[in-house]
Amino acid sequence: MKKVYGSAAEALDGLLQDGMLIAAGGFGLCGIPELLLEAIKEAGTKDLTFASNNAGVDDFGIGILLQTRQVRKMISSYVGENAEFMRQYLSGELELEFNPQGTLAERMRAGGCGIPGFYTKTGVGTVIAEGKEHKDFPTGPDGAEETYIMEAGIFADLSIVKAWKADETGNLVFRKTARNFNPPAAMCGKVCVAEVEEIVPTGSLDPDGIHLPGIYVHRLIQGEHEKRIEQRTVRAA
């Protein structure tokens, strides 16, 4: 099965449609599938729902799709660095489904494992729990019970992720914190497209060092990427 494509546009050919749900990796400005997001922008696909930890910043990451009004809804856990995101949400132009960060990651992982729902304590007694199923579970030998809420797994139409290295079969290696949400995002899509900094021959990656097996990755591109710093912190001279 051919997995390596010449460009982001080629890799996304035939996969995009208006109104689809896309799971995207990245955390802040780290590990963002920037080339694929730019290709989605150029394709003009609209009414999109994104499941992603955040939306990048105004001119990078999913933020470029907010500028062009291609995003209808965000399923996220953090929105603090994107002024356009906040503006659209507060003005009613953008729908937002807030998730605790760990819950969002687990919803993606669960979807990738074929699990339709799971129970968690996170969010019990808050607005996060409104309208969700509650269930009490015993939590210790004394029979005491605690309340949990049910969260649904995310089953995305498409996953887009960014990795450091890949082999030609799609096995992925991430570099340090760029791993972040990328593995669970990759798992939960019907089709996963990955962009990487380097593609190496099959068999050259250490099997014990592979972070995401190629069975989850359907299409692959290599490209040049920015190395942005989200919050530059320096000591006074």
pLDDT of residue 236: 84
pLDDT of residue 233: 85
* Alpha carbon distance 170, 184 (integer Å): 15
CATH superfamily of 8-103+154-222: Glutaconate Coenzyme A-transferase (3.40.1080.10)
pLDDT of residue 211: 98
pLDDT of residue 123: 96
List all residues 6 or more positions away from 6 whose beta carbon is below 8 Å from its beta carbon.
221
pLDDT of residue 100: 95
pLDDT of residue 167: 98
* 3-class DSSP state of 141: coil
Structure tokens at 56: 């990048």
How crowded is residue 204: how many other Cβ atoms within 10 Å of its Cβ? 9
Q: Which residues of the chain carry a pLDDT beneath 50?
A: none
Task: Write down the domain spans for the chain.
Answer: 8-103+154-222, 117-152
pLDDT of residue 56: 87
